[in-house]
Amino acid sequence: MSGFASTNDMADKAVSFDELGRGLYAYTAEGDPNSGIIVGPDGVVVVDAQATPAMAAEVQARIATVTDRPVSTIVLSHYHAVRVLGASGYPAHSIICSDVARDMIVERGQQDMDSEIGRFPRLFRGREAIPGLTWPTQTFRERMTLWLGEREAQIIHIGRAHTAGDTIVWLPKEKVLFAGDTVEFGATPYCGDAHFTDWPDTIRKLRELGAEKMVPGRGRALLNAREVAEALDGTAEFTATLFGIVKEGVAKGGDLQAIYDDAMGRMRPRFGNWVIFEHCMPFNVSRAYDEARGIDTPRIWTAERDVEMWKALEKRAAKDGEIR
């Protein structure tokens, strides 16, 4: 076996920098983690910092094409390393996340850092420049508001979905939503830390906002209400389908391997062309299996657990000489 599916993905991705409105931009790269940009009167807000200072520099190079104002504030949509470890590469004096996200950094941040670096070598190129875990300078409970001149940016701990600490940034006047990994578009939701039972209600809350433009966690910028609805529908369908299959398997007394094989067979025709499908599914089914058996808090992924799980669930692929 050649390792995680993601370790085979070393090709550079084409970056897009799309304007969503006056001073609003989406930094996207063919299914890699996205960043959102809000240009304020005194500085720039970046939503999700990327994985390394080197990748943060690439975001800032794009920002420099539209403004000479520095990045003053970073908002973290959740705690995952691929979103937060680039924070030290910005001149920002304020790093904001939900209180729950900070608790997750305390509980499992180092394990997640070690785990993700092992899974995504391309995204963590330049990792030697990461000084350590990213810590917020400010946390909030439920919601807070940034006023950028007359522009209102609501930072909302929207509910449990991708993680327990999921945060969005919502601009009510412009109807622009920076959704983090609560929503993906053409990209497979990573559910290793998910709360499947709660995710539908979180998506309901997102729908009620009435966004007309969105930056999903992965996938291209969405530039009209129809595309926003398509992303919400797709994420809801994927997560509900997966959890339904796993709950069905658990109810029948199936073991994790049998349920994983069933889920892959049933979901690949519909979702197999989505970015990182092969990588995410072993983690997704493992977490769904735990939740279906009553484990509410996701078990911590360590580098050692990653390898153990992958070898167990992908052993048939290895035996057959397949590259996942």
Q: Is residue 208 part of a domain?
A: yes
Share of the chain above pLDDT 90, in %: 88
What is the structure's pLDDT at 200? 98
pLDDT digits (tens, 9 = 90+) for 31-61: 899 999 999 999 999 999 999 999 999 999 9
Q: Is residue 214 part of a domain?
A: yes
- The model's pTM is 0.93
Cα separation, 317 vs 12, whole angstroms: 26
Cα separation, 305 vs 130, whole angstroms: 23
Q: Is residue 90 part of a domain?
A: yes
The closest alpha carbon to 228, from 176, 274, 270, 159, belongs to 176
Say how many CA atoms lie within 13 Å of 44 toward its Cβ.
28
The 3-state DSSP class for residue 284 equals helix
Q: Is residue 112 part of a domain?
A: yes
Q: Is residue 11 part of a domain?
A: yes
Cα separation, 23 vs 305, whole angstroms: 43
Q: Is residue 56 part of a domain?
A: yes
201-211 in b/e form (b: 16+ CB < 10 A) is ebbeebeebeb
What is the structure's pLDDT at 21? 97
Biggest CA–CA distance in the chain, Å, is: 60
Q: Is residue 167 part of a domain?
A: yes
Model confidence at 185: pLDDT above 60: yes
Report angle CA 300, 107, 50 to the nearest 5 degrees. 80
pLDDT digits (tens, 9 = 90+) for 77-87: 999 999 999 99
Q: What is the CATH number of the domain that holds 116?
A: 3.60.15.10
What is the structure's pLDDT at 238? 98
Report the domain count for the chain. Answer: 1
Q: Is residue 324 part of a domain?
A: no
Residue 296: which domain range?
A: 5-319
